A and B are shown apart, each in its own frame.
Chain A
Amino acid sequence: DAKTTQPPSMDCAEGRAANLPCNHSTISGNEYVYWYRQIHSQGPQYIIHGLKNNETNEMASLIITEDRKSSTLILPHATLRDTAVYYCIAADSWGKLQFGAGTQVVVTP
């Protein structure tokens, strides 16, 4: 599985968009980009995944560069409940997810 690199932490103001970057320069053609988040003391929660195209759902948007070496998760209007550790994972469709250290996102009022 390809390794991913994320900033360790970032702050975001409530109501603003949060843009979370992820590098996955060694991603292979059959690997998807998955994003999960983990709120303290809970199990991870799925956010979104994509292969080549940009994706959007009710939680977030995923922008994948054309060369697939990096992606950005966009939370359009951050709320205090979005404070969590966000994980970017590159893995195939079998779903054997290898979580890294993630990005600690703190949303402030």
Chain B
Amino acid sequence: DTGVSQNPRHKITKRGQNVTFRCDPISEHNRLYWYRQTLGQGPEFLTYFQNEAQLEKSRLLSDRFSAERPKGSFSTLEIQRTEQGDSAMYLCASSLASQTDPYEQYFGPGTRLTVT
């Protein structure tokens, strides 16, 4: 257990439905990252936050994807109008970092999404 929790751990949804995943980072960590991992591939960076500010959105896969971190603590990742291609593991990670000094990222166990 890294201290990063994700809920739910598994989600099965029908195509066209909206889904929301939650990530609770380690409490003092100021950065929070979202990644997606499809079968047989390494994780793919989606977006990240420093405190409540979302610093990059351009790698979110489409405008159906959005993320928030409203109070600089937990974060949510929402996928609207899900498609079968969205089936994947969604990973969250957190770190305590500054711009000039990278720290290790602690990953949660992931949320596995299956779109039927």
Contact = CB atoms under 8 A, between A and B. Distances in A.
Contacts of B98: 93
Contact of A95 (B31, B59, B91, B108): B31
A96 B102 contact: no
Interface residues of A, number: 22
A43 B2 contact: yes
A99 B43 contact: yes
Interface string A54-95: 000000000000000000000000000000010100001111
Interface stretch (A9-17, A19-27, A44-52): A44-52
Interface in B53-110: 55-56, 59, 91, 93, 95, 97-110
Majority DSSP secondary structure for residues of A touching B: loop
A50 to B, nearest CB: 10
Nearest to B103: A95
B33 A95 contact: yes
A46 B3 CA distance: 14
A97 B55 CA distance: 14
Interface string A26-56: 0000001010001000111110010000000
A94 B55 contact: yes
Nearest to B109: A43
B93 A43 contact: yes
Which of B56, B91, B100, B107 has most chain A Cβ within 10 Å? B107
A98 interface: yes
B21 interface: no
A96 B109 contact: no
Given A95-B102, A99-B42, 9 more contacts: A34-B102, A44-B105, A93-B98, A94-B48, A95-B105, A96-B59, A97-B45, A99-B43, A101-B41
